[in-house]
Amino acid sequence: MIVERDVGVPMRDGVKIYIDVHRPPGRKRVPALIAWSPYGKHRPFQYGYFYKEGGVRKEWYSSYTNFEGPDPLYWVARGYAVIHVDLRGVWGSEGNATYWCHEEGKDGYDLIEWTAAQTWCTGKIGMTGVSYLAIAQWQIAATQPPHLAAINPWEGLSDMYREFAFHGGIPETFFSPVWQKSISYSTNSVEDVTAMMKEHPLFDSYWATKVADFSKINVPALVVASWADQGLHLRGTLEAYKSIASKQKWLMIHGRKKWENFHQPDSVEKQMAFFDRFLKGIDNQVRRWPKVRLEVRDRYYAGKSRNENEWPLARTRYKRLFLDARAGSLRTAPVATRSQVRYDAPGDQSRCPAAYREERAQFDYVFPAATELTGHMKLRLWVEAVGADDMDLFVAIQKFDRHGKYVPFAAFSALEDGPVALGWLRASHREPDPKRSTPQQPWSLHKRQLKLRPGVPVPVEIEIWPSGTRFAKGETLRVVVQGSDVYKYARWMVLAGHPKTINAGSHVIHTGGKYDSHLLIPVVPRKG
């Protein structure tokens, strides 16, 4: 393998970014894969060192592999070049860094066209990678580089405001500061996203530049999402898949840890088949792939995958389960009697978030028959804040077996005790977007704050991120509502967290009578 390090590539404004090129020896021209990353093209592989729980085996990668990207040794041996990038403004690349924006898309366009013109390249370029390496593909593909032949975004959010910076309008202050440090190595200046979160608490033109024009993405796309990535990539990956204009696009949804899933041999074989088809023109099994393949989970690393024709699933039947505060239950029929449940809601927990075990409200539903829930859920609540004019609501959907034992699922990159799904909302951000909201998926505008009035309950609709879960007869679905993250850990981990809430006093949830608080669930009948 030939390795060319620190190759300078001029952008349209004269700024140079630096790349490492890994390619086969000889004169035969090959297609190229680009891994667009802010984490340092020269940095060694990090999985084993930082996240032993991540599930990535040492035999799955070589020392040439960079964080969240493909293994050059594997791909070069099979007739591809692999390019690792230090994007504009990070590490040794010139210029100033801005992230997940239209300008980054233009730089990607320029690198793709430069690569296609090299004597060793066939002119066919693809992109692959996890997380940031996936997110960048949306912006770059939207610029329509002539030589970009296919993309493979493996879990990449697509709306930085709603999926990274503010969940339901609540600022994410646990993961984002550490992430900011990891992308701030520069000889010039880098965008301070965490500072911009404070300057731009509402969705404005700044955040709009972080959203790609999906209508302009028309290249073949193999898109992958995980039910486990609640609070980071799941929602945006699925929204992007629905929105891109590509006529040849495939979606895979699993319930496993994302780094493990990207690097495991059968996934790499899938990636190889995809790029062989669109970068090498090999007529292989890709043309027979189902448009959607998804896993329906029973518990942690137990589930079955099946083929589908679309996402969301067209045969879904949405069902309302009404909250009964007096009984702490969910019922299939509206509840006639009014009741309420009240819990204390702590404020700033940033000093020791894992130490807080505050009160919560919970509501249970026992399934009378085996039931699959795959898709979006929505929680409608009538709420009131006592002692405050706003409230941060945190929701978890959990599963319990017939004996009342908690059923865990994979969560984020390395956790094994996660929920079915999560949702969030700051009550002052409850104003819906009438153009984008659907009965099963509310979209908040996040354009202004609507404060609460003392003693006046208001309805809020909370988007619960998608999930795919099977409940057996006698198993329980539990809705947990509280004033802080339901899942907290004593040590820092890769997961969304919101220790600096706006909460004070207590929260009241009203149910029954005119207070039609309910959970909307996506029931999926068996095929045929």
Residues 325 and 373 occupy one common structural domain: yes
| DSSP structure string for 10-55 | E-TTS-EEEEEEEE-SSS--EEEEEEEESS-TTSPP-HHHH-GGG-
Q: Is residue 74 part of a domain?
A: yes
Residue 284 in any domain: the answer is yes
Asked, for residue 215, whether it belongs to a domain, the answer is: yes
Is the pLDDT assigned to residue 50 strictly greater than 50? no
Tell whether 306 is covered by a domain. no
Q: Are residues 241 and 331 in the same domain?
A: no
* Residue 180 · residue 99 · CB < 8 Å: no
Residues 252 and 325 placed together within one structural domain of the fold: no
Same domain flag for 274 and 337: no
44 contact partners, CB below 8 Å, separation of at least 6? 63
Q: What is the pLDDT of residues 60-111, one digit of tens each?
A: 988 899 889 999 999 999 999 999 999 999 999 999 999 999 999 999 999 9
Bridge-based pairing of strands 81-86 and 406-407 is unpaired
- The sign of the CA dihedral 425, 429, 431, 434 is negative
The last residue of one of the domains, among 244, 270, 289, is 289
**Same-domain status, 48 and 168:** yes
Burial class (CB in 10 A: 0-12, 13-18, 19+), 438: exposed
332 shares its domain with 268: no
**Average pLDDT score over residue span 35-61:** 77
Whether residue 23 is found in the same domain as residue 94: yes
| 3-state SS assignment for residue 270 | helix
Does 462 share its domain with 389?
yes
Kindly give, in sequence order, each residue whose CB lies less than 8 Å from that of residue 493, ignoring residues fewer than 6 positions away.
412, 414, 415
Contact 422, 412 (CB under 8 A): no
Q: Is residue 141 part of a domain?
A: yes
Indicate the pTM of the whole model. Answer: 0.96
Range of the domain at 460: 317-523
Counting the structural domains of the chain, the total is: 2
Calpha distance 425→436 (Å, rounded): 17
**Could you tell me which residues come within 8 angstroms of residue 150 by beta carbon, excluding any fewer than 6 positions away?**
126, 127, 219, 220, 221, 222, 274, 275, 277, 278, 279
- Are residues 134 and 212 located together in one domain of the fold? yes
Say yes or no: 377 and 231 in one domain. Answer: no
Q: Is the pLDDT of residue 352 over 60?
A: no
pLDDT tens digits, one per residue of 425-480:
999 999 999 999 999 999 999 999 999 999 999 999 999 999 999 999 999 999 99
Of 270, 289, 308, which one is at a domain's C-terminal end? 289
Tokens for 218, please give them.
């028309």
Domain co-membership, 271 together with 379:
no
In a domain, 69, yes or no: yes
CA 484/CA 482 separation, integer angstroms: 6
Contact 134, 155 (CB under 8 A): yes
3-class DSSP state for residue 218? coil
The pLDDT of residue 45 is 57
**482 and 427 in a common domain:** yes
Which pair of tokens denotes residue 141? 């593909």
In a domain, 307, yes or no: no
- For residue 354, is pLDDT > 70? no
Q: What is the CATH number of the domain that holds 216?
A: 3.40.50.1820
Residue with tokens 């956790």: 415
Q: For residue range 266-284, what is the model confidence (pLDDT) as tens digits? A: 999 999 999 999 999 999 9
Q: Would 398 be classed as within a structural domain?
A: yes
Place of tokens 């909370």: 462
| pLDDT tens column, 223-265 | 999 999 999 999 999 999 999 999 999 999 999 999 999 999 9
- Whether the per-residue pLDDT at 49 is higher than 50: the answer is no
Quick one: pLDDT at residue 488? 87
pLDDT for 177-202, tens place per residue? 988 988 888 889 999 999 999 999 99
Given a contact cutoff of 8 angstroms between Cβ atoms, the answer to whether 501 and 319 are in contact is no
Q: Residue 499: which CATH number?
A: 2.60.120.260
